[in-house]
Every structure is written in structure tokens, then in C-alpha cells.
Structure 1
């Protein structure tokens, strides 16, 4: 009995060690600043997670474990510049600089080949840009209530930027430059992304929240309409209304999003 107990203990310790060894938590120099990556190593096509505005890699903690268990895939989460553990270079802000930093980091880590994208909110703009720049490498995408350029017409964009500018104080720039420049660059990021369509060759599952981030009925209807129009562009896009869910669909209904990611991975892998 004693020997059996010791064997169980050794087995448990070994398993814990193996699990820890599979996770890479690292800072990568991408040219003037460092991006924080957390990579759960697996096999097959890696899955890259793009957090929403103001969020970092930890936003995905509720679903990465189940996704890893069901796919055994490599999962890549990271903190965009100025958030989480990533540092910031005030001379390299804006979505294009952010994308160049991400691409540099992925290349250094050896993940600059085929990939699957999962994105939430403003992270959808980064997923869109990455897919537009690497249409042959992106094998599938799961978009979760992402920001669309369709929604931000000129009038709404100007009004949104005005609110952001009011909140963007000098004090914020000094204490949290990542957040400050995320807001300051919002309009320019949207305008830049009008030039980059999501490739129609990439299979997409597009979720839209039932309870959108807005209170005004016109905003609510336009948010949902833009997602419907995006999904209708191609037969390989599937639009899903997440009934009863708010903006963070993957927190309100984890199985719904997890199943979509697993399905995207399975289909992209040809299994």
C-alpha cells in the first residue's frame, strides 16, 4: 500500500512537471519593445488568440484549457504592446506597428506558418489585418463579437473618438501609454482597416452578441446588421447570434465558442 501511494505521488508530480514544461511563458524582443507570449505547446496547426481592446492574454483563461484538451493543438496567447506584461514604445503605436511586432514575435518563436485565428472585439481588427497580410497561411478564423469597420461610419467614428479623447488625459498617457494610444489611434486604425478586407478564402465562424455593448437601438441594429452582412459575403462564412450572451460571449457561454474553435481546427486539419 505504501509503495502504491509513493508510485501515485511520483506519477502525479511527473504529470504536473510535464504539463508545466509544455507551457512557454516568455518576453520576445520585437524591436524596441517586448511582447509577452504564453504558449501551450501541442501539435497540428497553431491557434492564435487576439484579445479585445484593453484586455491581455488572461482574458482567454476560461476556454484555453478545454480547447487544448479537445484539440491538443498549440495555443498562442499574447499581450499587445502596453498591456499585461508587454512593454511599450511610444514611437511604434497604431495597428500596423502592432501587427509588425506580432509577426516579428511569431517568427522568432517559429510560428510564422499556417495558423488559425480566434479574436474578440477590437482584436478582430488585428485578425483581419493578419489574415489580409497572410491569406495563404490563415486556415480558419473564429470571430467573437468583433469590431467591424462597417459599424463605424464617419459620424459614429467621430463621436466615438470625441468620447475617447475626453477620457484620454495626460495623466493616462504617463501611467498607461498602451491604453492611451489605443484610444488615440482608434479612428486611424479603423480608417486603415477599411483598406483591408478579410479574405473570402478563409473559412470564418462569426459570432455576434445578443446583448451588444450598446444601449441605443440604432447602434444595436447596426452592430448586428454589419455582422450579418459580413457573414453573407461568402458561403464559407457562418454567422451565429449568441442568444442571451453579452459582448464576452466566451465567458457567458464557453461551450458555444469552444465547440466552434474545435470544429474550425478539425476542419482546417482535415480530420
Structure 2
């Protein structure tokens, strides 16, 4: 694979291939409970992008274009020849939008799971100063760059609450892989690069007119629940409402990518729909 190692799993024995692109900074171990539910119906391929887990460190900028090319290379190398469903969560959904436009003939269907929008700059321009002070692209780049400067030991220590949540869904060997995943400073360097390219990625995706005429499902979070969760972090209600209204508007816009697009609202779910409402997925 261009002398690049990819950490991937092939799970299940269903007739339809489902390829999953994980969200930013997330491990594929997050998806194990959902995969367990669907493995009899799909052959699931899930992987870690370059810079994640045991995949090779990236040699190119972490743009969605480069990520799409790398995923396509990996799928060819492992012998995938038939069309497949491509599903992406959050930033993984932005990668999926890029991929589908670059390789339209390889796609059977698309699922965008509370996906980042190609018009994500519209969120940045909202009059939501409190939210922007915490979650703007520049702020996220700064935060994860700070994490990348910490030692493995520091990262493992501060992430114990995160890694302990995996104990019930992975083996003891895999749990150690989870610990190492979140304890690797290179993960945070990679994530910072992914964040830094977001606006450029959106413009690149918009510049490609092609989108295959295939079924598209856009699954969006429950905006009322999300507003309540924002407020738990001392975000003013009016800012949370404005942000969630725009997020929903952008989800509705994604539906228009395909004439076969449909919007599904995951009631009682925030951003992590595949965890909160796996039955909807």
C-alpha cells in the first residue's frame, strides 16, 4: 500500500460491503457495539486513517482529498472490487463527501452520520461568541497541538476516564491498543492537521460537481437535546439554539447532494448517533 501500513478490521459475513470512516480523533473501537449488531447483514470494513492507531504516520497534509485517495488505495489493495456503502461520522462524513465525488463509480449508497458540512464555514461566522471561543477551528487546532506536546505517559494518565469506557466492548489486548491510541502524541498532531484543513476541504468538495445517483441517507442529531447539552457547558441558550438551527440547516442541505437523498432525525441522540441510537443507523 505505497509502503504505508493501515490498521483495519474486516468484520461480518453479509453480502453487502459497508466501509466506515470514523470521526476526528476517534478510534474504530467506538464502533464495535454497532458492528456487533449488523455483522450478520454486512461485511464491515473499518480502519484508522494515517496518524491514527497503528496506521503509518502521514507523509502528506491531512486534507480530505489525500484521505480519500489513501482509503481508495487501501480498498484496492485488500481486494475490494464490488460497489460498497460508504458511511462517515462527523469529519469522517466530510471525508466521505470528498471520496464519493472522486470515486463515484465505486459507490452503492452513502450514509452521512451527523456529518460535517462542506459549508462548515457558516458555523464559524455565526454570532455565537461563547461557542466560538471553545470550538472554533483555530481553537481546536490550538488545543490538540497542546496535547501533541505532552508525553505518552501524561496522555495515558489524563485519558483514563475515556479509555475505561471501552472495557466492556473490547478484549484486554484491544483495551491496551485503546490506551496506546489515545496516549500517542502523533494522534493529536494528525488531528490538528485535519482541523486546519477543514475550510480548504469544504471548498475542494464544492469544486467537484459529480455526485453519484445513489441512495443517500443523512442522519442528523436531535437539536433540542443538543441545545440542552450545550447549556450544560454554560453556553447561552440563544447561542446553542442558533448553532443547532444552522447545523440542522446544513444537514438538510447535504440531502440535496443526491436526488435519492433523505433526512432522518435521530431523536434522543446527540452527535454520537452510532452510540446513542444505533437502531437508527
Relative to the length of structure 1, the TM-score reads 0.74
- 1:15-58 CA-to-partner distances (Å, cap 9, x unmatched) read xxxxxxxxxxxxxxx33532111012525331101111111221
What residue number does 1:230 align with?
A: 254
**Structure-2 change in CA distance of 1:218 and 1:85 (3 Å):** same
Question: How far apart, CA to CA, are the structure 1 residues paired with 2:14 and 2:123?
Answer: 44
- Could you give the per-residue CA deviations for residues 31-89 of structure 1, whole angstroms, max 9, x where no partner exists? 353211101252533110111111122121111111112x1x32100001111221212
Higher normalized strand content (fraction of residues): 1
Structure having the higher Rg: 1
Change (3 A) 1:89 1:32: farther
Are 1:204 and 1:238, in contact at CA under 8 Å, matched by a contact in 2? yes
The residue aligned with 1:246 is: 270
Kept in 2: contact 1:116–1:140 (CA 8 A)? yes
Q: 1:168 to 1:74 in 2, by over 3 A?
A: closer
CA contact (8 A) 1:48 1:118 kept: yes
Provide the aligned length of Structure 1 versus Structure 2.
Answer: 225
CA distance in 2, matches of 1:172, 1:124: 24
1:100 corresponds to which of 69, 85, 97 = 69
Distance in 2 (alpha carbons) for counterparts of 1:154 and 1:49: 25
Pair 1:173–1:81, CA change in 2 (3 A): farther
CA 1:198 to 1:37, structure 2 compared with 1: closer, same or farther past 3 Å? farther
Change (3 A) 1:44 1:35: same
In angstroms, what is the RMSD of aligned CA positions?
Answer: 2.5
Q: Distance in 2 between matches of 1:203 and 1:100?
A: 22
Match of 2:15, SS state, is strand
Is the CA contact 1:48–1:76 (under 8 Å) kept in the aligned structure 2? Answer: yes
Deviation at 1:186, TM superposition (A): 2.6
Match of 1:161 among 137, 162, 180: 137
Contact 1:31 1:101 in 2 (8 A): no
SS at match of 1:39: strand
The normalised TM-score by structure 2 is 0.71
Q: Which runs of 5+ in 1 are unaligned?
A: 1-29, 258-271
Unmatched 5+ stretches in structure 2: 127-131, 151-184
Q: Higher relative contact order by CA 8 Å / sep ≥ 6: 1 or 2?
A: 2
Q: How does 1:25-104 map to 2 (within 5 A)?
A: 30-40=1-11, 42-69=13-40, 71=41, 73-104=42-73
How many angstroms does 1:198 deviate by? 6.9
